A and B are shown apart, each in its own frame.
Chain A
Amino acid sequence: MEAKLEYTLRIADNALILGQRLGEWCGHGPALEEDIALTNISLDLIGQARSLLTYAGELEGNGRDEDKMAFFRDAHDFRNVLLVEQKNGHFGDTIARQFLFDHFSWLFYDALLKSNDDTLRAIAEKSIKEVTYHRRHSSEWIIRLGDGTEESHSKIQESINELWAFTGEMYTPDKLDQQALADGYGVDLVQLSEYWKQNVAGVLRQATLNVPEDGWMQKGGKKGIHSEHLGYMLAEMQHIPRTYPDAQW
């Protein structure tokens, strides 16, 4: 796969897969306001994925549009990090996953504003405004739950601890990340990781939570090696368009 195409798919698939996960909360939120918040965030993420997948289709040059990219690729073609495909769990698990990702995503788009690729830069300029609200929402919940009751404190600490092993993959550059940076369209993940650790630790401390130790980190999603969760999720997401490939909206 061409480097810029694969790089764009990483950004696109993070947004699409997390957007789809959050959509699963529709009608199941712990309160009406949160049901609406999670699905609003889902909608923003799917909107970002639409722009990114359209661009990926153009880079690929085989005439595939956003829908073909979303619904007719298999799990091993997806390039999202493992964090975003993790199951929703309870509300605290979802908030912890969102919090860890939102802080990454905000810094990523902020750095992408300096990309030499006009399309990626324009998408970043649009998306960062939305992620600013997402990041505030998840950070406020981390504080409310962490600095809340004994039960909410211990539950959210447990969620953060369990998901921590999935954070390294987001900010650890591999060959493709290094090439994208060298070619001027990608993001400096080494610098990003310092800000990310600082920002995340700041909120966790404010929430009276512990910052987990960096231990062994899970990885694979960026190269197309996924947990079993992604397959089930895609089966649901892709079922209708694959059963009726000529269906029109």
Chain B
Amino acid sequence: MERNEAHILELLTAVKDPEIPVLNVVDMGVIRKVDLNDDHIVVTITPTYSGCPAMDVISMNVKATLKRAFGEDAEVVSQLSPAWTTDWITDEAREKLREYGIAPPEGKSHDKSQLFAEPKVIACPKCGSENTTLVSEFGSTSCKAHYKCSDCLEPFDYFKCI
């Protein structure tokens, strides 16, 4: 199997976010860099949130995937800057999120200096209605807010912008 960057990135699309299994780490922008040294591969990842418990699992799965493909121990390093932003999630991944029942991040990551943000219109991923309300900015995981739809009456997660 060819040991080049494009091929490694393709292999890594098999590594999913353990909390959102329809997303892979490449689509999410968690994989920042692949360096090919003579003796080993170095993969640079960046956490979505400082305390995200999925990062350890992701790092383990990246190593396991590369071990299977090349029989070598890859190194995974974590890098905080530039800080991960939802702007890096690909369009394709946003569509996958919606199909999975999670409303994808709407627009660009916001201006952090604003104390109170303008409320956003988030369409319900199940029925498409824009008649929805924010229940809480803190949802089932760090990256999600909790909304409800006033038309189909279903609660849903929204992948919030950071």
Enumerate chain A interface residues (CB-CB to B < 8 A): 33-34, 36-37, 40-41, 43-48, 50-51, 110, 118, 121-123, 125-130, 132-133, 135-137, 139-140, 199, 203
Decide if B142 is an interface residue (CB 8 Å cutoff).
yes
Question: A137: which B residues are within 8 A, CB to CB?
Answer: 137-138
A43 touches B146 (CB 8 A): no
Q: Nearest Cβ in chain B — how far from A140, in angstroms?
A: 7
Interface string of B83-126 (1 = CB under 8 A from A): 11100000000000000000000000100110111000000000
Q: Contacts A48-B50, A50-B50: A33 and B82 contacting too (C-beta < 8 A)?
A: no
Q: Contacts A121-B81, A139-B115, A140-B116: A127 and B136 contacting too (C-beta < 8 A)?
A: no
Decide if B52 is an interface residue (CB 8 Å cutoff).
yes
Within 8 A of A (CB), among B4-42: none
A50 touches B51 (CB 8 A): yes
- Please measure, in the bound complex, the distance between the C-alpha atom of A37 and the C-alpha atom of B113, giving whole angstroms: 21
Question: B109: which A residues are within 8 A, CB to CB?
Answer: 129
- Please measure, in the bound complex, the distance between the C-alpha atom of A199 and the C-alpha atom of B82, giving whole angstroms: 28
Question: A44: which B residues are within 8 A, CB to CB?
Answer: 49-51, 142
Q: Nearest Cβ in chain A — how far from B86, in angstroms?
A: 10
Decide if B80 is an interface residue (CB 8 Å cutoff).
yes
Question: B115: which A residues are within 8 A, CB to CB?
Answer: 135-136, 139, 199, 203
A47: which of B52, B139, B162 is its contact (CB, 8 Å)? B52
Q: Nearest Cβ in chain A — how far from B83, in angstroms?
A: 5
Q: Nearest Cβ in chain B — how far from A221, in angstroms?
A: 22
A-B pair number, CB within 8 angstroms: 84
- Please measure, in the bound complex, the distance between the C-alpha atom of A136 and the C-alpha atom of B161, giving whole angstroms: 14
Interface of B is mostly: loop
Question: A123: which B residues are within 8 A, CB to CB?
Answer: 80
B49: which of A34, A122, A130, A203 is its contact (CB, 8 Å)? A130
Question: B138: which A residues are within 8 A, CB to CB?
Answer: 33, 36-37, 40-41, 133, 137
Closest A residue to B135 using CB positions: A33
Within 8 A of A (CB), among B64-84: 79-84
B140 touches A37 (CB 8 A): no
A125 touches B142 (CB 8 A): no
Closest B residue to A52 using CB positions: B50
- Please measure, in the bound complex, the distance between the C-alpha atom of A128 and the C-alpha atom of B52, giving whole angstroms: 15
Q: Nearest Cβ in chain B — how far from A128, in angstroms?
A: 6
Q: Nearest Cβ in chain A — how far from B142, in angstroms?
A: 6
B51 touches A125 (CB 8 A): no
Task: Given A123-B80, A133-B137, output 16 extra A-B contacts at Cβ < 8 Å.
Answer: A36-B139, A37-B136, A43-B49, A43-B53, A44-B142, A47-B52, A48-B51, A50-B51, A122-B79, A122-B83, A125-B83, A128-B112, A129-B83, A129-B85, A130-B50, A132-B112
Question: A139: which B residues are within 8 A, CB to CB?
Answer: 115-116
Question: A122: which B residues are within 8 A, CB to CB?
Answer: 79-81, 83
Closest A residue to B78 using CB positions: A51
- Please measure, in the bound complex, the distance between the C-alpha atom of A33 and the C-alpha atom of B138, giving whole angstroms: 7
A47 touches B112 (CB 8 A): no
Question: B53: which A residues are within 8 A, CB to CB?
Answer: 43
Question: B84: which A residues are within 8 A, CB to CB?
Answer: 126
Closest B residue to A127 using CB positions: B50
Q: Which 4 A-B pairs have the closest CB atoms?
A: A47-B51, A47-B50, A122-B81, A37-B138
Question: B85: which A residues are within 8 A, CB to CB?
Answer: 129
A33 touches B146 (CB 8 A): yes
Question: A36: which B residues are within 8 A, CB to CB?
Answer: 136, 138-140, 146
Question: B137: which A residues are within 8 A, CB to CB?
Answer: 37, 133, 136-137
- Please measure, in the bound complex, the distance between the C-alpha atom of A132 and the C-alpha atom of B138, giving whole angstroms: 13
B50 touches A125 (CB 8 A): no
Closest A residue to B110 using CB positions: A132
- Please measure, in the bound complex, the distance between the C-alpha atom of A128 and the C-alpha atom of B81, giving whole angstroms: 12
Question: B112: which A residues are within 8 A, CB to CB?
Answer: 128-129, 132
